[in-house]
Amino acid sequence: MRFVVDVMLGRLARWLRILGFDAVYLRDARDDTLIRLAEDEERVLLTKDARLLQRVRVNGYLVRSRTWEDQLREVITEFQLQPLIDAFSRCLECNVPLTEVEKETIANRLPPRVTECCQEFYLCPSCQRIYWSGTHVERMSEKIASLLREVSEAAGEHEPCSHDSPERR
């Protein structure tokens, strides 16, 4: 799944990236830019702007939830994303897939305590940002596990969402 996310859903975009989904998010993008990206790159436009989806014929979904956690659960459920999750595989800043890198090649860019405790490192080939599994990843992993449990529990209580719903085109 590939998404383009409107400016009202920045945290959702970030968490989609954390889960490993290709989610383009441009802070200052105008509606016409979002529409063009959705069409040209065959992305699903995620928006909170019902008028935007009514004005144009684009593959889009109206996100109804208010909080980013509920938005994330909503999108995971609507698009049945759970089996496609590949957490921590994309750069959170540029959305590019990360590549594994040897510690020796980046050791001079790491804090000393990280060099001592961590063995696996990932690099964004675009912005050169370095990622490793620290306590922040543990906290995010716990949050992901909790969200996915909630999605699974809710799926057991309700029928799956219809892809012909008025919120989605």
Write down the mean pLDDT value for the chain.
90
pTM strictly above 0.85: yes
For residue 72, give every residue at least 6 positions away whose Cβ sits within 8 Å of its Cβ, in sequence order, or none: 12, 15, 16, 19, 147
Burial state string for 65-82 with b = 16 or more CB within 10 A and e = fewer than 16: eeeebebbbbbbbbbebe
Phi, psi of 29 (to 5 degrees): -70, 135
**Residue 27 region by backbone torsions, left for phi larger than 0, else alpha for psi between -120 and 50, else beta:** alpha
Tokens coding 146: 């909790």
Burial of 29 (0-12, 13-18, 19+ CB in 10 A): middle
- pLDDT attached to residue 164: 33
Task: Decide if pLDDT at 26 tops 60.
Answer: yes
Spatial CB neighbours of 79, under 8 Å, sequence gap ≥ 6: 1, 44, 61
pLDDT category of residue 168 using cuts at 50, 70 and 90: very low
pLDDT confidence band for 167 (50 / 70 / 90): very low
pLDDT in tens, 103-135: 999 999 999 899 888 989 999 999 999 999 888
Q: What angle do CA 135, 139, 14 make, to 5 degrees?
A: 110
